[in-house]
Amino acid sequence: MKKELRPIHDAVSCDVCGRTILKGERAEWYLAPGGHRRQVCDLCAVRAQHSGWIRESAAGDMPARVPRNEPRRGVLGRLRKRRPEHAEDESRLGEQSVPENGDRLSSLPAEEPAPAPPPRARSRPQVPRHVRAVPTTAEVKVERALELFNGSGHQRTVAGLARTLGSPWVSALPDPNQSSAVSVLVAWELSWYRYRVDLGDEADPVMMLDKGEELDQIDESLRAWNAGLDSEGRVVAGPAKNDGGSEE
């Protein structure tokens, strides 16, 4: 008589992957949402836990279920519910920093950026030249040149020498080689000084060109003696008044 072979256990399949659980393979019961029992193989344990299934053997360690009539929380709600206590303490500290008027710090207007510095003004050239209008006639050139000379420190030097040496001979003539310049010559019997007044130079128009001790050293064309000093030592146009000597 032929013996009939029968399986010694019923065929059981995993409720996750659907695979038949082999003889000797371990399977555990899980509780799915709604209280349904599910059998899961070892290979699918992690998947079951990610789906929210709870291992039946560990169900006694889990907190009591939420009543069915309470609506389920969303993901954001569960995250808020699971915040650590120190996070809630930090939140309370933040609320204490709210101003008395009730406005939160986050609602305060942002600090306005500092205004940009005004553009720097362009500096003028240190020695601007030829910005004055140069007269065209010789008479006006001489008058303007004497005004500039009397406004310079050279006039004070001449006035100081005149108090010691007496009144000098003075000539003021337009420079034939430079249309904007006037040559001013101040001479005594024992010394003389020649200056150039540049009518177009606003910054430093008067400059001493040369000096000497003998009148013979001076070119004859420069010895016109058409100016002199007034009582205050300023050079003025007019005939020379010399008390210190005579022209050779």
Same-domain check for residues 144 and 233:
yes
Half-sphere exposure of residue 125: CA atoms within 13 angstroms, side-chain side:
8
Query: Does some domain include residue 115?
Result: no
Provide the pLDDT for residue 145.
92
Same-domain check for residues 56 and 146:
no
Distance CA 157, CA 7 (A): 137
Provide the pLDDT for residue 230.
93
Closest to 219 measured CA to CA, from 177, 165, 179, 159? 177
Residue position matching structure tokens 């001790």 = 213
Provide the pLDDT for residue 49.
84
Q: Which of 45, 63, 81 is the last residue of a domain?
A: 63
Distances (CA, A) of 165 to 159, 229, 237: 10, 13, 20
Distance CA 94, CA 56 (A): 43
Percent share of the chain, pLDDT over 70: 65
Provide the pLDDT for residue 245.
43
Query: Does some domain include residue 4?
Result: no
Q: Is 208 helix (H, G, I), strand (E, B) or coil?
A: strand
Distance CA 221, CA 217 (A): 12
Same-domain check for residues 143 and 57:
no
| Residues 6 or more apart whose Cβ sits within 8 Å of residue 241 | 167, 228, 229
Distance CA 39, CA 56 (A): 10
Q: Which domain holds residue 53?
A: 11-63
Distance CA 155, CA 172 (A): 14
How many domains, the chain?
A: 2
Query: Does some domain include residue 203?
Result: yes
E-state strands within 126-180: 169-174
pLDDT tens per residue across all 248 residues of the chain: 555 545 545 678 888 888 887 777 778 888 888 778 888 888 888 888 888 888 887 766 555 454 455 556 665 666 665 555 555 555 565 555 444 554 454 455 556 677 777 777 666 656 545 456 788 888 898 999 999 999 999 999 999 999 989 999 999 999 988 888 999 999 998 899 999 999 988 888 999 999 998 888 888 888 889 999 998 999 999 865 554 444 44
Query: Does some domain include residue 114?
Result: no
Query: Does some domain include residue 179?
Result: yes
| Residues 6 or more apart whose Cβ sits within 8 Å of residue 164 | none
Q: Find the angle CA(60)-CA(66)-CA(69) to the nearest 5 degrees.
A: 145
Q: Which of 63, 78, 100 is the last residue of a domain?
A: 63
Residue 104 in tokens: 């939160």
10 Å Cβ neighbour count for 11?
A: 7
Residue 183 in tokens: 């040559």
